[in-house]
């Protein structure tokens, strides 16, 4: 499972059915507790392991079934220390043990769905919702219509829908995807956002440079003074936070019981659990939150889900940003109407015609997939190619840029010469470009992307590159290698 703190319900169900046969693996365990669970499996006392990504290494002699729930979730990729993707590891372990691997999701990753289309995986479809409940009605609120705004990002449409819930004593979830936010310029008149002409990912604004920068190829652009689509001159930086929204909501609905769930309010152990319990016991009327509120919860009295600004995750300079946005919207929409009363979802956006938002409103995974997979094919993005990311960091920017460029040169030398009549050598190098988070903990970060159809070829080039890196003067610059990166940060 992607996250165990948020799925206590599921664990409890397994434990009540299978008791001692269940071993649990998650980051909340002490080393001693972890060892106990490990030993219970070794001794054959536990036959079921439930846990986050590391559970894939449970020491079973023979594995029969591996179930990866919410297989599209990017938290399956461990991005520090030993890097691995638990879903991909599950597939390898399944193959080695001759086990069945079940990847479950209402919004499968495009890599997995593509594999089901090409016959590599078998597709098992569950077309209906449980108890044949109808899918919630999803409506779009156009944020470009400023006359509908009452307070920042709170429109008349959303506020009146919330009022109705308070009168009926039903619950509301307000979702703000803050994590996907990165500084970008947006035209509030038409929703346009500057993209790299070569890479089709959004450009990120760098204050110091006063430039819009592409984080894949390094392309730079002076920030335009007018929108290239509608000539509007009010280009704005989007800034919105859950705390600010909470304040506005409290002022607007002083009698309502309001709570917030995000990284700031869930620092303490058990705080997740407390908020979720209060929600389940109907002690909260309006819950405002980030990604955390989108996962697996089952609150039958939630009849309204409001998405404050669906565009935020579209701004992330990542070729998966459309896919992620669709997944998020579908997940959060799925929180509405899980009880007897039907649910309603309001998605506020500057880009109501954007394909991932339009698809989320019509629950059209397949249509969206087909459109997006064609784009990936055209651009040469996964699943049609593989990426390996080299991330360089140091407190002195010059050094990082200099060392990254020096290694790039070495790698270019190591690339196999093009064969006669062939232009493509199997591996393309992109960068060095500033990382989307160009400064992190006082360090500057730059990256080089290795891109190719054949992972073996990429690995061969990478190996040469790393050998050069060992030999050359590194001047204290740190290099991290990320194969199949899931987050470009
Ligand atoms: Zn515009
Ligand atoms: Zn680019």
CATH number at residue 38: 3.40.50.300
Ligand 1 center from residue 237 Cα (angstroms): 13
CA 446–ligand 2 middle distance (angstroms)? 14
Kindly report the number of other CB atoms within 10 A of residue 483's CB atom: 17
Q: Does residue 124 sit within a domain?
A: no
Same domain, 139 and 249: yes
Domain that holds residue 461: 386-483
Ligand 1 center–CA 230 separation, angstroms: 4
- Domain of 415: which CATH number? 3.30.70.600
pLDDT (0 to 100) of residue 296: 61
On whether both 409 and 352 belong to a single domain, the answer is no
Q: What is the pLDDT of residue 389?
A: 94
Same domain, 408 and 467: yes
Q: Which ligand is closest to the CA of 236, given by its number?
A: 1
With respect to residue 220, please indicate whether it lies within any of the assigned structural domains: no
Are residue 16 and residue 134 in the same domain, yes or no? no
Q: What does the block give as tokens for 364?
A: 């059209």
Asked whether residue 344 falls in the same domain as residue 244, the answer is yes
Buried/exposed code over 33-52 (b: 16+ C-beta within 10 A; e: otherwise): ebeebbebbeeeebebbbbb
CA gap 101, 120 in Å, rounded: 12
**Ligand sitting nearest the alpha carbon of 227:** 1
**Exposed, middle or buried: residue 188 (CB in 10 Å: 0-12, 13-18, 19+)?**
middle
| CA of 226 relative to ligand 1 center, distance in Å | 8
In a domain, 300, yes or no: yes
Task: Verify that 250 and 359 share a domain, yes or no.
Answer: yes
Ligand positioned closest to the Cα atom of 188: 1
Question: Residue 195 C-alpha to ligand 2 middle, in angstroms?
Answer: 8
CA distances from 67 to 55, 71, 99, 102, 103 (A): 11, 9, 10, 5, 6
Q: Which-ligand-closest: CA of 488? A: 2
Q: Which of 335, 352, 376 is the last residue of a domain?
A: 376
**Is there a domain that residue 90 lies in?**
yes
Same structural domain, 294 and 276 = yes
Give the distance (Å) from ligand 2 centre to CA of residue 317: 10
| 323 and 260 within one domain | yes
Question: Closest Cα partner for 91 from 68, 73, 107, 110?
Answer: 68
SS3 at position 482: strand
Angle at 178 between CA 176 and CA 180, to 5 degrees: 120
65 and 143 in a single domain? The answer is no
Residue 444 lies in a domain: yes
Cβ < 5 A residues, ion ligand 1: 187, 189-190, 192, 227, 229-230, 232
234 Cα to the center of ligand 1, angstroms: 8
The Å distance, Cα 393 to ligand 2 centre, comes to 20
Q: Do residue 427 and residue 465 come from a single domain?
A: yes
CA 213 / ligand 2 centre spacing (Å): 8
Distance 232 CA to ligand 1 centre (A): 5
From first to last of the 489 residues of the chain, give the pLDDT tens digit.
Answer: 987 766 677 788 999 999 999 999 887 788 999 999 999 999 999 999 999 998 999 999 999 999 999 999 988 999 888 899 999 999 999 999 999 999 999 899 999 999 999 999 999 998 877 777 778 889 999 998 988 988 878 999 999 999 999 999 999 999 987 654 556 778 888 888 888 888 888 887 777 778 888 888 888 888 888 888 888 887 777 666 777 889 899 999 999 999 998 877 777 777 888 888 899 899 999 999 887 887 767 788 999 999 998 888 887 788 998 999 999 898 888 888 888 888 899 999 999 999 999 999 998 999 999 999 999 999 999 999 999 999 999 999 999 999 999 999 999 887 877 766 655 678 889 999 988 777 777 789 999 999 999 999 999 999 999 999 999 999 999 999 999 998 876
Closest ligand to Cα 451: 2
Count up the domains in the chain and report the number: 3
Q: State in Å: Cα 144 to ligand 2 middle.
A: 28
Domain boundary among 88, 105, 122: 105
* Cα 352 to Cα 144, 190, 234, 279, distances in angstroms: 9, 10, 19, 31
Give the ligand with the smallest distance to the CA of 187.
1
Q: Give the ligand at the shortest distance from the Cα of 317.
A: 2
Residues 293, 146 share a domain: yes
Clarify whether residues 94 and 149 are in a common domain: no
Structure-token pair, residue 213:
């920068």
Distance in Å, CA 327 to ligand 2 centroid: 24
């Amino acid at each position: 499972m992607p996250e165990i703190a948020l799925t206590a319900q599921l664990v409890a169900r397994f434990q009540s059915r299978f008791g001692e046969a269940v071993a649990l693996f998650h980051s909340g365990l002490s080393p001693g507790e972890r060892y106990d669970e490990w030993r219970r499996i070794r001794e054959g006392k536990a036959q079921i392991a439930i846990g986050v990504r590391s559970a894939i290494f449970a020491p079973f002699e023979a594995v029969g079934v591996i179930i990866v729930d919410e297989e599209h979730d990017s938290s399956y990729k461990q991005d520090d220390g030993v890097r691995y993707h638990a879903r991909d590891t599950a597939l390898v372990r399944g193959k080695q043990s001759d086990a069945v691997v079940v990847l479950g999701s209402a919004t499968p990753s495009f890599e997995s769905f593509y594999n089901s289309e090409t016959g590599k995986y078998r597709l098992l479809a569950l077309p209906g919702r449980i108890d044949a409940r109808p899918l919630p009605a999803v409506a779009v609120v156009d944020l470009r219509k400023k006359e509908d705004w009452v307070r920042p990002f709170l429109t008349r449409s959303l506020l009146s829908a919330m009022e109705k819930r308070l009168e009926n004593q039903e619950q509301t979830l307000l979702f703000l995807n803050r994590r996907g936010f990165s500084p970008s310029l947006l035209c509030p008149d038409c929703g346009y956002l500057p993209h790299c002409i070569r890479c089709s990912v959004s450009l990120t604004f760098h204050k110091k440079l006063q430039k819009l920068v592409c984080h894949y190829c390094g392309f730079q652009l002076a920030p335009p003074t007018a929108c290239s689509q509608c000539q509007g001159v009010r280009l704005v930086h989007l800034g919105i936070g859950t705390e600010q929204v909470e304040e506005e909501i409290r002022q607007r609905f002083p009698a309502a019981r309001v709570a917030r769930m995000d990284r700031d309010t869930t620092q303490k152990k058990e705080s997740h659990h407390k908020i979720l319990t209060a929600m389940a016991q109907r002690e909260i009327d309006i819950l405002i939150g980030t990604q955390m509120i989108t996962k697996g919860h089952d609150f039958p009295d939630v009849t309204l889900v409001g998405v404050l600004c669906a565009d935020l995750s579209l701004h992330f300079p990542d070729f998966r940003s459309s896919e992620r946005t669709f997944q998020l919207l579908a997940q959060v929409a799925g929180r509405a109407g899980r009880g007897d009363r039907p649910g309603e979802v309001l998605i506020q956006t500057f880009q109501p015609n954007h394909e991932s938002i339009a698809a989320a409103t019509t629950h059209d995974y397949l249509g969206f997939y087909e459109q997006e997979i064609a784009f990936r094919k055209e651009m040469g993005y996964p699943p049609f190619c593989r990426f390996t990311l080299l991330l360089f960091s140091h407190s002195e920017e010059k050094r990082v840029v200099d060392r990254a460029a020096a290694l790039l040169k070495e790698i270019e030398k190591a690339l196999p010469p093009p064969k006669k009549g062939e232009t493509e050598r199997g591996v393309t190098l992109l960068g060095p470009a500033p990382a989307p988070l160009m400064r992190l903990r006082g360090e500057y970060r730059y990256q080089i992307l290795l891109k190719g159809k054949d992972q073996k070829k990429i690995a061969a080039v990478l190996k040469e590159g790393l050998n050069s890196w060992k030999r050359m003067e590194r001047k204290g610059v740190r290099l991290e290698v990320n194969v199949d990166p899931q987050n470009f940060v």
